[in-house]
Amino acid sequence: MSHIVTPDICDAHPEVQVLDPIFANVGGRETFCGPVRTIKCFEDNALLMQALAEPGNGCVLVVDGGGSLRCALLGDRLAEQALENGWGGVVLYGCVRDVDVLAEMEFGVQALGVHPRRGQCNGDGQRDVGVQFAGANMVPGQWLYADNNGIVIAATRLPLEA
């Protein structure tokens, strides 16, 4: 994987979108990138379970959880499954749980916060649709780059120095 430094990306590519600085880096991999795939759901992680059970092919799952701080949509078991299935990481506009385990996994996860209660599993939501949160518009096929400085979205894959 190329070396990801989001400030350098912003300097070299001022056209990128920068997500508002509201996310915490809770995964064991501090930098990650990949093509965007999306889920839009609210307090329901059934579509996350479905997506992360499929081959990720290095994609980053961007989840619009409506900004809910009332439950977690991702925990250690789903993150482990995502890692095993080749997902590049998850950015969650919502909460996660099992953060001590997530921090030990070689998997990128950024989220709004932490909550011990899990979400519902009713299957409500949408996959592979445009989502908007944290001051950015994201659609499947864009590229996401994340590190401890923040998260940026580019229209296409960017040439990064190794």
Annotated binding site: 75-78, 97-98
Q: Is 159 helix (H, G, I), strand (E, B) or coil?
A: coil
Terminal-residue alpha carbon distance, the chain: 8
Q: Which residues are annotated as a binding site for substrate?
A: 75-78, 97
Neighbour-count burial for 37-57, b at 16+ CB within 10 Å, e otherwise: bbbbbbbbbbbbbebbeeebe
Q: Which residues are annotated as a binding site for Mg(2+)?
A: 98
Q: How many CB atoms lie within 10 A of CB 32?
A: 25
In whole angstroms, give the CA distance from residue 157 to residue 154. 7
